[in-house]
Structure 1
């Protein structure tokens, strides 16, 4: 059964409220994570608690339990000169900026002359997510995984 410090392997699809596929493990490797270590969004982690290997899931996660609400106050306009060394800037481009709170992902949402509108909200902020899938394996975490707070080896992280 899925519980804290279990390593869980699952196949999943995630769609938005319009039914548009956002991500899927079907064409890739399955998702492998350590339950209770905040390696996945809280709403999905809560929904999977207590499930067993072979179980299916179909769950709707509201923004608060996914990537939060979209905060329009975070959107700002910066001068093109802030993108030193970047020749071509277009809406949809994603950059990583170093901030006092660590690296932050920024998406360019608009360009007007030398003004660049950037949005540091997560791309899925404000979206309700619909996850479907199945649990394919559950195992105990190793001592090393417990120490590091994430999966090691196949499907996980190698040091």
Structure 2
């Protein structure tokens, strides 16, 4: 199945994290991995024209915040870099895959980096408007 939809992901306070309502609608194939399973799963049974808002708990969204994903590194590992709290840095893991981390704390000797997804641990609202649903070969 190929689904075309508008969507918005919102925080509890109503702040919009991402939305296609003011842009081109998004299209994905069911099961292609473009949507997290918790987001894709709530769409089953919807048809063109349906509009819904779903509550997505952290375990069905971006996961719970994991304290083990916070790392403290020597300040010397960041030679010639201007560091500040909230700065997003892309690291390479052992398999050379890109891994984003957010600077949480900086001092003269250490840098604390949070590798959790920024939406980890947050309940979300997933607003959808289904534009079309098509069978694909």
1:12 matched to 2:34? The reply is no
Q: Please, what TM-score do these two structures have when normalized by structure 1?
A: 0.77
Structure 1 segments of 4+ aligned residues over 6 angstroms from their partners = none
1:100 and 1:141 mapped to 2: Cα distance? 38
| TM-score after normalising by structure 2 | 0.89
Asked if structure 1 preserves the Cα contact closer than 8 Å seen for 2:75 and 2:107, the reply is: no
- 1:109-151 Cα distance to aligned partner (Å, 9 max, x none): 1212232110111110001110112011222346xxxxxxxxx
C-alpha distance in structure 2 between counterparts of 1:25 and 1:114, whole Å: 43
1:22 has 2:20 as partner: no
Say which of 75, 82, 107 aligns to 1:88. 82
Q: Does 1:48 align with 2:35?
A: no
Question: How far apart, CA to CA, are the structure 2 residues paired with 1:112 and 1:49?
Answer: 49
Higher relative contact order (CA 8 A, sep 6+): 2
Partner of 2:125: 130
Coordinate RMSD, CA, aligned = 1.7
* 1:113 is aligned to 2:108: yes
- The alignment of Structure 1 onto Structure 2 pairs a total of residues equal to 136
Please point out which of 29, 37, 40 is paired with 1:34.
29
What SS does structure 1 have at the residue aligned with 2:38?
helix
More strand by share: 2
Runs of 5+ unmatched residues, structure 1:
1-5, 143-159
Q: Assess if the C-alpha contact under 8 Å between 2:5 and 2:128 holds in 1.
A: yes
CA distance in 2, matches of 1:71, 1:34: 30
Alpha-carbon distance between aligned partners in 2 of 1:139 and 1:91, rounded to the nearest angstrom: 45
Structure 2 unaligned runs (5+)? none
